[in-house]
Amino acid sequence: MSSAQTDVIVIGGGLSGLSAAKLLREKGLDVLVLEARDRVGGRTYTVQRDNVSYVDLGGAYVGPTQNRLLRLAKEFGVKTYLTNEVEDLAFYQKGRTHRFKGAFPPMRNFLAHMDLNNLFRLMDKLGKEIPAAAPWKAPDAEKLDNMTMQEFFDQHVWTKETKAFGSQFVQVNVTSEPYEISALWFLWYVQGAGGPFRIYATSNGGQERKFVGGSQQISDLIAERIGPGQASIIEPRCVSRSAGETSVTVQCINGQKFHAKYAVVATPLPLQNKMTYEPPLPSLRNQLIQRIPMGSVIKTFMYYKKPFWRENGFCGSAAIDDDGAIIGFTLDDVKPDGNHPALMGFILADKARQYVDMSTDERKRRISQLYCKVFQSEKALKPVHYEEMNWLGEQWSGGCYTTLMPPGFLTKFGKEIRKPFGERASREILHDLGKIRADEIWQDEPENDEVIAREFVSTFWERNLPSVPGFLKLAGMTSLLSAVAVGAFLYHRFK
């Protein structure tokens, strides 16, 4: 069996592990990246095919505030292009499509509008109160953490329409259901992504751009640069780690052994169960990695001869609120050169679990039928090609997009996660080796000079519209009739 010595072993060749390795390499250390798959990139996965050119079957979108990724892309000359949002967005509900512009779809009645406005104002307010680096210190942290998002909606949302949109908002942002996640975690996560508007929006938000040529390029290019010389990427699956006083040994399934001064584990948390540890992990860490599963999503692409939705005045973005609909969220996926027009659609959370054992042909059929209704064109029924990626079945990712935290997890186990990782892990090592100062370990990322975050400006009515109970109280004070008059007045004003 082979046996090699290096400075640092990085376990996991996704973006996190590779960016850690790159940083160490730049400081002159020997680095070895271990990856279980026969490719790097992890949850970014770009596939080349004749009939689609290339397609991002995994993580694809990037937008303002994601400055670390934007910096890496720029360094390697990977360009971005805008996700199409020129024409109308679609909101599909109860068998009907409603056109709209902006981040959130319009609610169909006044109470629901007030309710939605109040919900997102509240989520934004609570999110801002949660310290990014110590969410367990938020006001009412334990109360919010011991509650699911479902409970949060039950407590704060009054209308069926807003509750349904709240669920869809959870599903599309974290590929899980409101009943399975901690409210504290979700509010913290959304805030970490720039707030409820930034995370959900296309323009000025998380889905603003895609990478020309696909997102996996960035990992491929890092891997190429750190190369097979002093740092190398190999395929065997890592299975165990044993820590000596001043060194770490990693043994892979194929029997290969590697020794290093440090190891950085850069895999999703649940996959850390796949390794065995000698000595065993600390107790809380041993239980933590059992408690933080990956989300559930199947990413689909339906290809057409022409972007028929644009012809109908739709940009391709749709939020779909329908129990029977297989897809929850779509975006235009036409290539920057206008070729290979497609609609990207997510099968999310419970829907992913429900439809995962169906045949690919049957999924394709249901999706094209749904698109026919959502984008109001029979042309949707005649796709020329279909691609999909079932992340639920991926042994070396566990799921996508990310981990989810069940109720109570963050306040009880959260601190165990805030251990160094990625580039920061590398800087902890560099500091330990005397190569950088302690105050250089934590580094804010300056804003990218091309992809700029603009503030989401709220209107007077968004800030001041009452909540549903507030409105009903008002109604109680004035009599139902005059309240209806006030309602009609307000409705007229914000319309």
Residues 23, 167 contacting (CB under 8 angstroms): no
Among 2, 287, 443, 478, indicate the residue that binds a copy of itself (CB under 8 A).
Answer: 287
Among 240, 312, 369, 458, indicate the residue that binds a copy of itself (CB under 8 A).
Answer: 240
Half-sphere exposure of 434 (CA within 13 A, CB side): 0
Q: Rounded to 5 degrees, what are φ and ψ at 90?
A: -120, 140
DSSP state of 305: S
Q: How far is the CB of 250 from a copy of itself (least distance, A)?
A: 12
Half-sphere exposure of 408 (CA within 13 A, CB side): 2
Q: Where are the beta strands (DSSP E) in 76-227?
A: 80-82, 88-93, 96-100, 209-211
Looking only at the bridges linking them, the beta strands covering 61-62 and 80-82 are unpaired
Among 2, 3, 109, 273, indicate the residue that binds a copy of itself (CB under 8 A).
Answer: 273
Residue whose C-alpha is closest to residue 423's, from 131, 75, 63:
75
Mask 18-57, x = binds a copy of itself (CB under 8 A)?
Answer: ----------------------------------------
Matching residue, tokens 């990322």: 445
Based on DSSP, count helices (H) and strands (E) in the chain, helices before strands.
18, 19
Among 68, 412, 424, 431, indicate the residue that binds a copy of itself (CB under 8 A).
Answer: 412
Q: How far is the CB of 421 from a copy of itself (least distance, A)?
A: 19
Neighbours of 366 (CB within 10 A): 17
Of 378-397, binders to a copy of itself (CB under 8 A) are 390, 392-395
Among 329, 413, 421, 471, indicate the residue that binds a copy of itself (CB under 8 A).
Answer: 413
Residues 408, 147 contacting (CB under 8 angstroms): no
Among 29, 172, 281, 410, indicate the residue that binds a copy of itself (CB under 8 A).
Answer: 281
The Cα angle at residue 230 between residues 30 and 76, in degrees rounded to 5: 95
219 residue type, one letter: S
- Which of residues 145 and 208 has its CB atom nearest to a copy of itself in the complex? 145
Mask 289-318, x = binds a copy of itself (CB under 8 A)?
Answer: -xxxxx-x----------------------
Question: How many chain residues interact with a copy of itself (CB under 8 A)?
Answer: 50
Cβ within 8 Å of residue 266, ≥6 positions away: 10, 11, 12, 14, 16, 17, 20, 421, 422, 425
State which H helix or E strand residue 468 sits in.
Answer: helix 468-478
Cβ within 8 Å of residue 399, ≥6 positions away: 175, 293, 294, 295, 296, 297, 391, 392
Of 178-237, binders to a copy of itself (CB under 8 A) are 179-180, 237
Q: What distance in Å separates the CA atoms of residue 197 and residue 245, rounded to the nearest whole number?
A: 48
Contact status: 415 vs a copy of itself (CB under 8 A): no
Among 106, 406, 420, 487, indicate the residue that binds a copy of itself (CB under 8 A).
Answer: 406
Query: What is the edge-to-edge ordering of all strands in the sheet holding 314-321?
Result: 96-100, 88-93, 314-321, 329-332, 342-348, 297-303, 385-390
Of 126-165, binders to a copy of itself (CB under 8 A) are 146-148, 150-151
Q: How far is the CB of 128 from a copy of itself (least distance, A)?
A: 24
Contact status: 251 vs a copy of itself (CB under 8 A): yes
Q: How far is the CB of 378 from a copy of itself (least distance, A)?
A: 33
Among 135, 383, 407, 422, indicate the residue that binds a copy of itself (CB under 8 A).
Answer: 407
Q: How far is the CB of 86 from a copy of itself (least distance, A)?
A: 36
483 residue type, one letter: A
Q: What distance in Å separates the CA atoms of residue 185 and residue 392, rounded to the nearest whole number?
A: 22
- Which of residues 54 and 355 has its CB atom nearest to a copy of itself in the complex? 355
Q: How far is the CB of 263 from a copy of itself (least distance, A)?
A: 17
- Which of residues 148 and 162 has its CB atom nearest to a copy of itself in the complex? 148
Cβ within 8 Å of residue 327, ≥6 positions away: 300, 320, 345, 346, 347, 351, 367, 370, 371
DSSP 3-state percent helix, strand, coil across the chain (nearest 5): 40, 20, 40
Q: How far is the CB of 283 from a copy of itself (least distance, A)?
A: 4
Mask 323-352, x = binds a copy of itself (CB under 8 A)?
Answer: ---------------------------x--
- Which of residues 394 and 462 has its CB atom nearest to a copy of itself in the complex? 394
Q: How far is the CB of 190 from a copy of itself (least distance, A)?
A: 20
- The residue ranges that bind a copy of itself (CB under 8 A) are 146-148, 150-151, 177, 179-180, 237, 239-240, 251, 253, 255, 270-271, 273-274, 276-277, 280-284, 286-287, 290-294, 296, 350, 353, 356-357, 390, 392-395, 398-399, 406-409, 412-413
